[in-house]
Amino acid sequence: MDRMNLKIGVIKGDGIGPEIVTEAMKVLDKAAEKYGHTVEYTKLLMGGASIDVHGIPLTDETVAAAKACDAVLMGSIGGDAKTSPWYKLEPSKRPEAGLLRIRKELNLFANLRPAVLYDELKGACPLKEEITEGGFDMMIMRELTGGLYFGERKTVEENGVMTAYDSLTYNENEIRRIAKRGFDIAAKRRKKVTSVDKANVLDSSRLWRKVVEEVAGEYPGVTLEHMLVDNCAMQLVKDPKQFDVILTENMFGDILSDEASMVTGSIGMLASASLNETKFGLYEPSGGSAPDIAGKGIANPIATILSAAMMLRFSFDLDREADAIETAVAKVLKEGYRTIDIMSEGKRQVGTEEMGGLIAKNI
């Protein structure tokens, strides 16, 4: 493999973001050094950190700077909605608006959220042992630039009654491109797609189902099943092993991925990649900014470190380097090191920095 120069944009973000991203950079640097690559970081401000400096959660300059990178690594954005001054701003100027805008601007329509139960972390899983026996390994494919998140919304007074509208819109092209990604990924895994919708109620889901079925016709080696979202929520805790790729729209994917993360033991373990039609991607942990534990040095950096591994794999085709990071994570867990969120009896509790350092050392 040729030596590469990796141009990586870094959005440390808010809350625990700076702490966990610092550890992921440490691990990336180590992997790059070991395999002879160089890394060039471009610091990008987004979310609350950008509001504090620019008054808005994402500037045009930052969007342009992100586009000029090969990939972006991100921590988390947002603060405590009750106490943070960011939430006194109108909704379109709050931290989350920056995240939604960058997803849209960079056309990051495919959000991959792998939920894997590590053997070593079975103790942190809230499900009964008979359910988790043999582990599970699923990939949630969440559509990320359509649906309720980006449909028209407004709050108006109608006949003296305050009324709010959010619209859930999908066109067939938006559904087709995410469905294709889902099938492509399933073809390289256990060859099963569970498409999740609410086709018993929603028109958008009926179109979703129709287009997904058309796409399935192009992938004879992959099995397709449909599942209603309420049933899926139940199946995730009843029998998570049944899932390989879960393909779903934006809002359902948001909700189901939090649920899936919890059955793996902790949201602090869940990586994610948001991809467009090119090699570019935005990589971030699935969890939030956790303002309640920010600055305490106890946050779990593993989701961010695993997101960095996904970046090496998807944006740079550096599979060997990505494997090295994933193997190092598994080794450190096997050796018994745990951050507080995944701590169980007889294990050794470590902080954010120590966890990052241990993983880097094992590369």
Q: Where do contacts with ligand IPM occur on this chain (CB under 6 A)?
A: 78, 96, 99, 254
Q: 294 vs 363, which CB is nearer to ligand IPM?
A: 294
Q: How far is the CB of 34 from Mg ion (least distance, A)?
A: 33
> Is 122 one of the annotated active-site residues of the chain?
no
143 is in the binding site of which of Mg ion, ligand IPM, none (Cβ under 5 to 8 A by kind)? Answer: none
Contact 285, 268 (CB under 8 A): yes
Closer by beta carbon to ligand IPM, 254 or else 341: 254
Which CA distances in Å does 286 have to 88, 251, 298, 302?
A: 25, 14, 17, 11
Per DSSP, 184 falls in state H
Residue 249 interacting entry, from ligand IPM, Mg ion, none, C-beta within 5 to 8 Å by type: none
Query: Which residues, at least 6 apart from 196, have a Cβ–Cβ distance to it below 8 Å?
Result: 226, 227, 228, 229, 232, 246, 247, 248, 252, 256
For the question of residue 29 being annotated catalytic, the response is no
In angstroms, give the least distance from the CB of 248 to ligand IPM.
13
Q: How far is the CB of 96 from ligand IPM (least distance, A)?
A: 4
- Are residues 303 and 269 in contact, defined by beta-carbon separation less than 8 angstroms? yes
What gap in Å lies between CA 114 and CA 263, rounded to an integer? 12
Distance of closest approach, residue 307 Cβ to Mg ion, in angstroms: 14
User: If we measure between CA atoms, which residue out of 285, 279, 302 comes closest to residue 356?
Assistant: 302
Q: Which amino acid is at 252?
A: F
- Using alpha carbons, list the distances in angstroms from residue 95 to 52, 100, 165, 290: 10, 9, 21, 14
**Nearest-approach distance from CB 286 to Mg ion, in angstroms:** 7
CA distance 8 to 283: 10
CB of 262 to Mg ion, least distance (A): 12
Q: 39 or 237: whose CB is closer to Mg ion?
A: 237
Q: Which residue is nearest to ligand IPM (CB)?
A: 96
Choose, from 197, 198, 219, 244, the residue flagged as catalytic.
198
* In contact, 14 and 284? CB cutoff 8 Å: no
Known active-site residue 198:
yes
Helix (H, G, I), strand (E, B) or coil at 156: strand
Cβ distance 227 to 257 under 8 Å? no
Contact partner, 99, from ligand IPM, Mg ion, none, Cβ < 5-8 Å per class: ligand IPM
Catalytic residue among 12, 14, 26, 149: 149
Least separation in angstroms between residue 321's CB and ligand IPM is 25
Residues 6+ apart with CB under 8 A from 357: 23, 26
Strand partners, 115: 138
Tell me the HSE value of 33 on the side-chain side, using a 13 A CA sphere: 9
Residue 258 annotated as catalytic:
yes
Residue 118 among the catalytic residues: no
Binding site for Mg ion (CB under 5 A): 254
Please, which residues bridge with residue 157 across strands? 162
Q: Between residues 99 and 308, which has the closer beta carbon with respect to ligand IPM?
A: 99
Which one from 52, 230, 239, 319 is the annotated catalytic residue?
230
Which single residue brings its beta carbon nearest to Mg ion? 254
The two structure tokens encoding residue 32: 């790059």
Q: In this structure, are residues 178 and 143 in contact, taking their beta carbons and an 8 Å threshold?
A: yes
Catalytic residue among 80, 137, 184, 258: 258
**Nearest C-alpha neighbor of 249 from the set 109, 139, 143:** 143
Nearer Cβ to ligand IPM (6/108): 108
Which one of ligand IPM, Mg ion, none is in contact with 96 (Cβ closer than 5 to 8 A by kind)? ligand IPM
Active-site position among 118, 254, 337, 341: 254
> Which of Mg ion, ligand IPM, none is residue 341 near (CB under 5 to 8 Å by kind)?
none
Residue 321 binds which entry of ligand IPM, Mg ion, none, CB below 5-8 Å type-dependent:
none
Instruction: Pick the closer one to ligand IPM by CB: 282 or 350.
Output: 282
**Which does residue 268 bind out of Mg ion, ligand IPM, none, counting CB within 5 to 8 angstroms by kind?**
none
Tokens 């889902």, located at residue: 182
Residues annotated as catalytic (active site), given as ranges: 149, 198, 230, 254, 258
